[in-house]
Structure 1
Amino acid sequence: MDINALFTDEGLRNFTATVRDQHVRDAQQYGQIADIVRRRLEQTPIEGDRWMAKRLRAWKVARQLKAMQKASTEAAAKAEALYATYVNEVLELPQRRAVAEAKRLERKQGRQAAVGAAVAGSLNRTVTALNTPQEQPGGTVPQARPAEFVTPESPFEQWPMAAGGERPTSTINDYFAKGEQG
């Protein structure tokens, strides 16, 4: 067998087909032999056998041949799996990589276009915001509510706070006039 021919599609296909066919034939032969051996041993008594000893002995011997049949069937399946794996992992790999690279480049270009559009939109909003005149003069803080002025009737007017003076502690009478019933 030429080892270099094994690394071509046709060479590996021929090798795996030959191996597969050989294992399939072997599995068939093992199955036929197992049936013949089992039936012959079931009909051949050995001195001192009990009533089920023949069948049990025949089953034990035929079981080994059935295991060989199963192993050959699995080997035939593995030969086909060898060819399929070789085609998938070696022969078709360059084509799959080329397709994946093309998809990757397409996604990258799509992302770049999306980022470019987002940057352009952001710049447009910034330019629009900077060129729009504002109602408030710069440096002032907008008021959340209008300023409140203390009226002369307010109890806070009684204690001047200007020169760091302290307000005396308040009692309830400071807030409610005496004698009011509510």
Structure 2
Amino acid sequence: MDINALFTDEGLRAFTSTVRDQHVRDAQQYGQIADIVRRRLEQTPIDGDRWMAKKLRAWKVSRQVKAMQKASEEAASKAEALYATYVNEVLELPQRRQLAAARKAERKQGRQAAAGAAVAKSLNKTVTALTGPTEQVPGAVSQARPAEFVAPDNPWNQWPMAAGGEQAPTRTINDYFANGDGR
């Protein structure tokens, strides 16, 4: 067998097919032999056997041949798995890597486009906010919230009044702590 031919698609396919077919034939033969051995031993009494001794002895012996059958079936499936793994991990790998690199580049371009759109939107908002809306009178200051009006009978007299009303004088720390004396 040429070892270099084994590392080609056709060479490995031929090898695994040959091995698989051999193991499948062996498994079939082992199954037939196990059935023959079991039936023959079930019908052959040995002096001193009790009522289930023949069947138990037949099962014990034929189970060894059944284990050989199972091992051959598993070897046949492993031969197919060898070929599938070789195709997946060796032959198709360069193509999968190229596809992955193309998808990665596409995602990167999409992220860059999204970031560019977000920056453009932010800049547009900034320009709009700095230039102000067209209906605003130049020089006027817009209020974030309406003025609060406090009733004149406010017991605390500390809140500022609305525009044009009286305001309490600004308090200092000395108003709160008598011992401060302005030091």
Q: Which TM-score tier does this pair reach, normalised by the shorter chain? A: 0.7 to 0.9
Task: State how 1:1-182 maps to structure 2 within 5 Å.
Answer: 1-132=1-132, 135-136=140-141, 145-146=147-148
Provide the rounded CA distance (Å) in 2 between the counterparts of 1:25 and 1:74.
Answer: 13
- Per-residue CA deviation, residues 109-140 of structure 1 (Å, 9 max, x unaligned), is 01101110110111111112112256219xxx
Provide the rounded CA distance (Å) in 1 between the counterparts of 2:53 and 2:44.
Answer: 11
Whose RCO is larger (CA < 8 A, sep 6+)? 1
Provide the rounded CA distance (Å) in 2 between the counterparts of 1:118 and 1:155.
Answer: 49
How far does residue 46 in structure 1 lie from its aligned partner after superposition? 1.1
Taking only the aligned residue pairs, the percentage that are identical comes to: 72
Provide the rounded CA distance (Å) in 1 between the counterparts of 2:91 and 2:106.
Answer: 25
Compute the TM-score of the two structures, normalised by the length of structure 1: 0.76
RMSD: 3.0
Provide the rounded CA distance (Å) in 1 between the counterparts of 2:57 and 2:171.
Answer: 118
Q: Which residue of 2 aligns with 1:178?
A: none
Higher Cα Rg, which structure: 1
Compute the TM-score of the two structures, normalised by the length of structure 2: 0.76
Letter in 2 for 1:135: A
Which structure 2 segments of 5+ residues have no match? 133-137, 158-167, 177-183
Provide the rounded CA distance (Å) in 2 between the counterparts of 1:162 and 1:50.
Answer: 115
Q: Are the structure 2 counterparts of residues 129 and 43 from structure 1 closer, same or farther at C-alpha, using a change threshold of 3 Å?
A: same
Provide the rounded CA distance (Å) in 2 between the counterparts of 1:28 and 1:163.
Answer: 105
Q: Are the structure 2 counterparts of residues 85 and 130 from structure 1 closer, same or farther at C-alpha, using a change threshold of 3 Å?
A: same
